[in-house]
């Protein structure tokens, strides 16, 4: 038996735009199922051949929603510095950089940013 975990992001009206943005950075395919009333995304995901997978939906109006502060980080770890640098460049468009992508004490490259949708990303290259 095996399992996988997938980060599921909750938004209030920005799910489609966020999924399209992440697809532009990581590649792959976007799938979106709208809410029955057409107001936002009921289910959506980006899935790439390289292994990137994220899901998202829009919390319906009338349902409480608070994105919170530092409620989670989305971590992308790879073995190729060029690949991680490419993802960094894509995600940094309109982002607030919290830690520049640079060598750290535990990784050849490590960086942290909050993207234009309020999602905090940690990107790094595995030490080896």
**What burial letters (b/e) apply to 91-125, b meaning 16+ CB within 10 Å?**
bbeebeeeeebeeeeebebbbbbbbbbebbbebbb
| Rounded Cα gap, residues 93 and 7, in angstroms | 21
Structural domains in the chain plus CATH codes: 7-58 (3.30.720), 73-125 (3.30.720.110)
What is the value of pTM for the model shown? 0.85
Q: What is the pLDDT of residues 6-29, one digit of tens each?
A: 999 999 999 999 999 999 999 999
Reading the block at residue 104, the tokens are: 């750290």
Residues 6+ apart with CB under 8 A from 63: none
Q: What is the pLDDT of residues 65-96, one digit of tens each?
A: 888 877 788 999 999 999 999 999 999 999 99
């Amino acid at each position: 038996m095996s399992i996988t975990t997938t980060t599921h992001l909750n938004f209030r009206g920005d799910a489609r735009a966020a999924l399209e943005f992440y697809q532009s950075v990581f590649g792959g395919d976007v799938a979106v199922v709208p809410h029955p009333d057409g107001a936002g995304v009921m289910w959506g995901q980006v899935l790439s051949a390289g292994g990137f997978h994220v899901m998202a939906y829009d919390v319906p109006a009338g349902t409480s929603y608070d994105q919170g502060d530092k409620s989670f980080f989305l971590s992308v770890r790879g073995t190729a510095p060029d690949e991680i640098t490419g993802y960094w460049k894509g995600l940094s468009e309109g982002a607030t950089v919290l830690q520049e992508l640079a060598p750290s004490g535990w990784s050849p490259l490590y960086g942290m940013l909050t993207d234009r949708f309020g999602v905090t990303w940690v990107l790094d290259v595995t030490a080896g």
